[in-house]
Amino acid sequence: MPAFFCLPMGCQRQVDSVDRSSSNLQAIPTDIFRFRKLEDLNLTMNNIKELDRRLFTLRRLRVLDVSDNELSVLPPDIGHLTQLIELNLNRNTITDIPETLKNCKLLTNLHLNGNPFTRLPESICECTSITILSLNDTTLTILPANIGLLVNLRVLDARENHLRTIPNSIAELKNLEELDLGQNEIEELPQKIGKLTSLREFYVDTNFLQSLPDSISDCRNLDQLDVSDNRLSRLPDNLGNMTSLTDLNISSNEIIELPSSIGNLKRLQMLKAERNSLTQLAPEIGQCQSLTEMYLGQNYLSDLPDTIGDLRQLTTLNVDCNNLSEIPETIGNCKSLTVLSLRQNILTELPMTIGRCENMTVLDVASNKLPNLPFTVKVLYKLQALWLSENQSQSILKLTEARDERTGIKVVTCYLLPQFDAIEGEAGRSGSAQHAPDRAAFLGGPKVHFHDQQDTFEDEKGAEVHLGNFERHNTPHPKTPKHKKGSIDGHMLPHEIDQPRQLSLVSNHRTSTSSFGESSNSINRDLSDIRVPNGVRETTLSPEREDHQYQNHQQLPQPQQRLGASTSSLSNLGSSSQHIINIQRDNSGKLGLSFAGGSKNDPAPNSNGDTGLYVTKVTPGGAADMCGLREGDKLIRANNVNMLTASQDEAMAAIKKRETVELVVQRRSPSPVSRTSEVSLNGSAHEINHLDAGSPDSTLFVSSNTPVYAS
């Protein structure tokens, strides 16, 4: 019998890896200490409050992960684990790092993020094998003076601390590739920082820097440079020596001009220079042949150089909130331009050559002084949004031909022209050293759902309508490119992640007393993306993504193409009744309905605060309309799934499962949402045209922050 039990004990000793992560452990399980040859121990995301001393008898341990626990002390016995190559202590409450850690000579990865220690022992620099040192979100006030001894260090992250100075020895880190010092209190960088010749990413945003050392231009391999949100008034004259630079973020500083050497940055793809004090743009910018995104908003630019037309790969140009009075004719050479935002300037005309920007999808000239638009705007066949006013409800407008009274040249106009909503506070802005930025000026946007697109502007049915007292959601431009390492660290994301976003434009009605509230956080999801297997997937436009690609759309069935449905009344409870409605999807897989509300979202409009799911739109002639569904119906069940406490995600999951959807709805009398094409808005009538699918004018405006699902 003793020999029988010897075999399993021997097997246990051969265990070299144990993963007990997310196991709700209060302490390290004692059976682990029997595995004398254990090399990899993962205890992350538990409730462990202290490290048992027996842990440090596992002398072969190479990887130890105790991140996301409740450790407050790192015992000095950690020095006994001399074979450690990776130690992860992230997000505990450790207040002191013991000197004995220096005995872990083989340590290559040391992660200490999210612990409230104020200092690193100088002896840590004896661990010369360290290649990755993560110190984000601690309470560090100083880095070890001899940090330059970590000759193999490739990544040093020290974001969100209280660092005020950087030791000069940091310049000795010849192999350093990534340096993150963002969100500290640094006032000056070491003068010899240019010796970091291997540096590829440098983030020093949100500090107190007033200048950059000239030697930084010696970092010839630098790819990402973020010095945003500092107090810089100038950039080094030899900035152009950093010829590998692809992303440059200098926003939120006090920079007056860009150095002429910027033209040497042949690989530069993104330039963010908004919220500065730029009065002119260096003509050499036209030499940055790889530039695809340029953000110059909230400066003092009075003109753009003609060389802007040399940027043949430019896709996004944002010059909002400046003092532009004209745009150079050469803008027409920017054939790749898809988003051009010029809102809140003093433009009196646009060049005829703008019609050459054949790929343009968004043109924003709201809050200028334009009397009309050049006739060539009508040949921008890919245009999906033309913004002329802050009070504009639809993204595409009816444009009519006219003659300019002054020049006699053919132009186009509409009911929003000439512009009268010029920049508010213009006088105050021009007289101040730094104008107060409207940081939400181009986030979010009207929530409109585009149906099939056509190559020409469709004439709207009827005469131009009086819009009444509107407030519009902010215009849906692409958000400023995100930072590379993610929103938590505040770095620039690579371009392949930050693709142009779609404009999601879904519909909703509003009451006569509601207003278009400002919100850039509205969640808009479209069930029209959900199709039966043989259906056609439709392109939708959302503030989260702008897509410049088109896909074919299927038209809604005509009224004569009635789908089978059965409607039966279950009960009649005075002012409300319940109905069973069976809806079969049309040929394109659509149901022709939208709903809002839900347990995890804001209440639907006209629901009196009820958190239930309400139908907010029924497409005329669509499948739901043919089956008797009405706007204002409350969802009780969907395909035998209870909808009374369901979220929108749960409702969408229940609806998308079947070809035929069975809904049990509660109907109030009268219905809280009128199914008419005219809605009273603050006493004035606004006609909403239900045009055929394919007309750019067949759009509806979302009137609240409530997320809407549509199918």
Last residue of a domain, one of 385, 410, 442: 442
- The pair of three-digit structure tokens given for residue 299, joined into one six-digit string: 């400066």
Q: Are residues 431 and 450 in the same domain?
A: no
Residues 432 and 454 in one domain: no
Answer with the one of 389, 416, 442 that is the final residue of a domain.
442
pLDDT of residue 401 exceeding 60: yes
Measure Cα distances from 250 to 211, 664, 679 in Å: 12, 56, 47
pLDDT at 669 (0 to 100): 60
Q: Tell me what pLDDT residue 623 has.
A: 86
Same domain, residue pair 542 and 506: yes
pLDDT at 119 over 50: yes
**End position of a domain, from candidates 396, 427, 442:** 442
Task: Say yes or no: 496 and 347 in one domain.
Answer: no
Question: Does pLDDT of 467 surpass 50?
Answer: no
Do 411 and 454 lie in a common domain?
A: no
Mean confidence (pLDDT) of the chain: 77
- Residue 701 pLDDT > 80, yes or no? no
Both 409 and 520 in one domain: the answer is no
Residue 621 lies in a domain: yes
Q: Which residue has the higher pLDDT, 626 or 509?
A: 626
Does residue 548 have a pLDDT over 50? no
pLDDT at 523 over 50: no
Tracing tokens 């963002």 back to the chain, one arrives at 182
Residue 708: the pLDDT is: 54
- pTM of the model as a whole: 0.62
Are 705 and 585 contained in the same domain?
yes
Please report, for the domain that includes residue 364, its CATH number: 3.80.10.10
Inside any domain, residue 173: no
Both 369 and 438 in one domain: the answer is: yes
Tell whether 229 is covered by a domain.
Answer: no
- Give the pLDDT of residue 677: 33
Interval 254-274 mean pLDDT: 97
The answer on pLDDT for 499 being more than 90 is no
Domain-embedded: residue 365: yes
Chain CA centroid to CA 22, Å: 30
CATH assignment at residue 711: 2.30.42.10
Q: Measured over all CA atoms, what is the biggest interatomic distance in the chain, rounded to whole angstroms?
A: 109
Task: Please state the rounded mean pLDDT for residues 42-71.
Answer: 96
Higher pLDDT, 90 or 486: 90
In a domain, 423, yes or no: yes
Q: What is the pLDDT of residue 568?
A: 35
Q: Is residue 71 part of a domain?
A: no
Q: Which of 145-149, 157-161, 635-639 has the lowest mean pLDDT?
A: 635-639
User: Does the pLDDT value for residue 310 go beyond 60?
Assistant: yes
- Alpha helices by DSSP H, 230-363: none
Q: What domain count does the chain have?
A: 2
User: Are residue 542 and residue 654 in the same domain, yes or no?
Assistant: yes
Does the pLDDT at position 500 exceed 50? no
Residue 590 pLDDT: 80
Give the rounded percent of residues in the chain with a pLDDT score beyond 90. 55
* 323 in any annotated domain: yes
What is the pLDDT at residue 312? 96
Q: Do residues 576 and 695 both lie within one domain?
A: yes
pLDDT at 601: 80
Task: Determine the Cα–Cα distance for residues 696 and 318; give it in Å rounded to an integer.
Answer: 24
Partnered with residue 594 across adjacent β-strands are 617, 710
Confidence of residue 670 (pLDDT cuts 50, 70, 90): low
Place of tokens 């739901």: 624
pLDDT score of 225: 98
pLDDT top residue among 368 and 585: 368
The pLDDT score that the predictor gives to residue 668 is: 75
Burial class (CB in 10 A: 0-12, 13-18, 19+), 30: exposed
Which residues form the domain of 428? 292-442
| Structure-model confidence comparison of residues 306 and 576, the more confident one | 306
| Better-predicted residue by pLDDT, 589 or 126 | 126
pLDDT at position 564 over 70: no
Rg (CA), the chain: 31
Query: Which pLDDT value is given to residue 690?
Result: 31
pLDDT of 710 reads 57
Judgement on whether residues 400 and 542 belong to the same structural domain of the protein:
no
| Alpha-carbon span 301 to 203, nearest angstrom | 27
pLDDT digits (tens, 9 = 90+) for 329-360: 999 999 999 999 999 999 999 999 999 999 99
Query: What is the distance between the alpha carbons of residues 454 and 6, in angstroms, rounded to a whole number?
Result: 78
pLDDT of 684 higher than 60: no
Mean pLDDT over 439-450 rounds to 37
| pLDDT at position 517 over 50 | no
Which pLDDT score, from 0 to 100, does residue 657 have? 56
For the segment 266-287, the average pLDDT, to the nearest whole number, is 97
> What local confidence, expressed as pLDDT, does residue 1 receive?
37
Is residue 98 a part of any domain in this protein?
A: no
Mean pLDDT score, 430-450: 38
Question: What mean pLDDT is predicted for residues 120-142?
Answer: 96
- % of the chain residues with pLDDT over 70: 70
Confirm if 384 and 457 have CB atoms less than 8 A apart. no
- Looking at the structure, do residues 524 and 649 belong to the same domain, yes or no? yes
The residue with tokens 């007990």 is 20
pLDDT score, position 172: 96
Q: What confidence score (pLDDT) does residue 709 get?
A: 55
Q: Check: CB of residue 416 under 8 Å from CB of residue 393.
A: no
Do 87 and 109 form a contact (C-beta atoms < 8 A)? yes
